[in-house]
Copies of this chain bind each other. A is one copy, B any other.
Amino acid sequence: KSKNKSITSFAAITSVVDGLKMLYNEKLKPLEATYRFNDFVSPALTSSDFDAKPMVMLLGQYSTGKTTFIKHLLQCNYPGAHIGPEPTTDRFIVVMSGPDERNIPGNSVAVHADMPFTGLTTFGGSFLSKFECAQMPHPLLEHITLVDTPGVLSGEKQRTQRSYDFTGVISWFAAKCDLILLLFDPHKLDISDEFKRVISSLRGQDDKIRVVLNKADQVDTQQLMRVYGALMWSLGKVLNTPEVARVYIGSFDQKPVNDAAIGPVGKELFEKEQDDLLQDLIDIPKKAIDRRINEFVKRARAVKIHAYIISHLKKEMPALMGKSKTQKKLIANLDDVFAKIQREFHLPEGDFPDVDQFRVALARYNMDEFEKLKPKMIQTVDEMLGYDIPELLKNLRNLND
């Protein structure tokens, strides 16, 4: 039953993504182009921005079972996966859907415009040599992309063995991800200073964090309670949010749960927890689409305000003489211009861009070349916000129920 539901919801999501892409190209993109939003604020969205799958990142000390967790999810190894008790995964590996099994080195991945990883070039060549994309055809990977990471090491090792900004890279992925799984195992509970720094770099993404207490069947129930308690004790201090992080307790491996140590109730608990986590993973695409729609709406509002500002500046320019003087005056009084537009069109002040940054950006342009207000184009975007997007959402909800 839950499987059927998730399939419907995947179909719905694909249709919403396609819907958004169409709305963007037909209704928002023309407005962006007309008023140079893409130069001023943000490049035009490409197909890959819409198509990028929700990402799940696995993080934890070495040997806590990150790579094994992925194997468990996929029911098979991804190309180039290494599993072992010593530190094994030595690079960041994006595991994604592809027509056949292959590994693409980081340097190539970072230049592929159709993959959302071009931003990683800022971490330099020594990072890119420790970055890789593993592709394979797999039904699960059609819906989410997984990010396997090298185990966090402690002390000197972390510094000497990693020639790039490890915490920075984690933080970059965290911002792009929809879910971050922090793995612990009963014998690797201590949160080293390095690990603390890594967790701190997730700040602002707290709602994406889920904790997994893995290999929980390796200790007996009473020990497990101690271990789990100790984990919560220190996590509470490190994450420092009042909301308690959700912890999934279990053994995420293909081997059956070792019920010698844990007994039948422990086994039942683990199975419930594993189901919950799987359900959480299945829900990601749906939550991710909500996040995207939200960001799309924010962008559309920003584009509208941008259009009002640009066209207002154009309107204020004289027909024949004193153009340069007027432009200077407008730039100097930009606060007043913003206030005027805000009043005229009843716009929320908080949606306006930063005046000073806008002033700097404006200096590069000749206002005389700006476009006049085209009410039809604005109206199209208003219709999109007021009708098309709610309609899209309604379809999504209907398909889900």
Within 8 A of B (CB), among A236-266: 236-237, 240, 244-245, 247, 249, 262-266
Q: Smallest CB–CB gap between A108 and chain B, Å?
A: 43
Q: How far is the CA of A231 from the CA of B225 in the complex (A)?
A: 12
By a CB distance below 8 angstroms, the chain B residues around A264 are 263-265
Q: How far is the CA of A325 from the CA of B266 in the complex (A)?
A: 81
B233 near A273: Cβ-Cβ < 8 Å? no
Partner of A232, one of B229, B262, B273: B229
Partner of A225, one of B226, B236, B245, B249: B249
By a CB distance below 8 angstroms, the chain B residues around A235 are 233
Is A76 an interface residue, CB under 8 A from the partner? no
By a CB distance below 8 angstroms, the chain B residues around A262 are 265
Is A363 an interface residue, CB under 8 A from the partner? no
Q: How far is the CA of A236 from the CA of B249 in the complex (A)?
A: 20
Q: How far is the CA of A228 from the CA of B229 in the complex (A)?
A: 7
B222 near A272: Cβ-Cβ < 8 Å? yes
Is A200 an interface residue, CB under 8 A from the partner? no
By a CB distance below 8 angstroms, the chain B residues around A222 are 269, 272-273
Q: Flag A202-233 by CB within 8 Å of B: 1 or 0 each.
A: 00000000000000000001100110111111
Is A234 an interface residue, CB under 8 A from the partner? yes
Most buried by B among A230, A233, A268, A273: A233
A265 nearest CB neighbor, chain B only: B265
By a CB distance below 8 angstroms, the chain B residues around A221 are 265, 268-269
Q: How far is the CA of A225 from the CA of B235 in the complex (A)?
A: 15
Q: Smallest CB–CB gap between A276 and chain B, Å?
A: 8
A234 nearest CB neighbor, chain B only: B236
Q: How far is the CA of A234 from the CA of B268 in the complex (A)?
A: 27
Partner of A230, one of B230, B244, B249: B244
Q: Smallest CB–CB gap between A191 and chain B, Å?
A: 11
Partner of A233, one of B232, B249, B265: B232
By a CB distance below 8 angstroms, the chain B residues around A245 are 233
Q: How far is the CA of A245 from the CA of B225 in the complex (A)?
A: 12
Q: How far is the CA of A222 from the CA of B235 in the complex (A)?
A: 19
Within 8 A of B (CB), among A264-280: 264-266, 268-269, 272-273
Q: Could you list 5 examples of A-B contacts with CB < 8 Å? A: A222-B269, A230-B232, A233-B233, A233-B235, A264-B265
Given contacts A228-B232, A230-B232, A234-B236, 17 further A-B pairs with CB under 8 A are: A221-B265, A222-B273, A225-B228, A225-B247, A226-B244, A229-B244, A230-B244, A232-B233, A232-B236, A233-B235, A233-B245, A237-B237, A237-B240, A262-B265, A263-B268, A264-B265, A265-B266
> Which 8 residue pairs of A and B lie closest in terms of their CB atoms, listed nearest first?
A232-B232, A265-B265, A233-B236, A263-B265, A236-B236, A230-B244, A229-B232, A233-B244
